[in-house]
Structure 1
Amino acid sequence: MDGTPACVNMKHIDVTKPAPFDGRDLIVCQTVFNKLQAQLRTVVDAEEANRIAAIIVDLYRQGIRDPEQLKVMIEAARGIFPSQSKRSG
């Protein structure tokens, strides 16, 4: 041994940075967004659509990967309740 620490060749992983977001992740998020949009049965303005999309991605990156759980959490966060949208149509 030459006195060099063994950990010199180890790769440093910054856990504060979000993991890469790939196509599979986008498919899950897009599917949830599409289901919510269809459920609302109305045209959501661009600002509200952007808010919903941002919340979906944020929750997904926090580890909520189940599409149904994501959908329920967005409904609660945005005040969208399935029973109300079914009654109005």
Structure 2
Amino acid sequence: MEEHFGHRRDEPLTSEDLTVCNDVLDDLCAQMEITDNKTVARLASIIIELYRQGVHEPEQLTLLAGATRDDPAA
């Protein structure tokens, strides 16, 4: 059973996958006025992880990744 769920996570992302993730990242950074590289990189890794877990809709990715920024100390 682990193989079934783990299989997609081990595959490299396609250029189309990366385009979706990058568009979501760009939108979130613009909406939240995020400019520092550390925060951008953290947000990118969250978006990619969500994508690998099966969240492929840009609106859902934006909502879930954006929710991680609700804490001002993050």
Compute the TM-score of the two structures, normalised by the length of structure 2: 0.78
Please give the alpha-carbon distance, in whole angstroms, between the structure 1 residues aligned to 2:26 and 2:39.
14
Select the residue among 41, 53, 64 that pairs with 2:55.
Answer: 64
The partner residue of 1:29 within 21, 24, 27 is: 21
1:54 aligns with 2:72: no
Same amino acid, percent of matched pairs:
38
Normalising by the residue count of structure 1, what TM-score does the alignment of the two structures yield? Answer: 0.66
> Aligned in 2, Cα 1:65/1:43: closer, same or farther, shift over 3 Å?
closer
1:84 matched to which residue of 2? Answer: none
Bigger Rg over Cα: 1
Higher relative helix content: 2
Task: Check whether the contact 2:21–2:47 (CA below 8 A) recurs between aligned residues.
Answer: yes
Q: Which amino acid aligns with 2:39?
A: E
Q: CA RMSD in A?
A: 1.7
Distance 2:65 2:12 in 1: 22
**SS of the residue aligned with 1:73?**
helix
1:44 to 35, 43, 50: 35
Structure 2 alignment gaps of length 5 or more:
none
What is the number of residues matched between the two proteins? 66
Unaligned runs of 5+ in 1: 1-13, 81-89
Q: Which residue of 1 aligns with 2:67?
A: 76
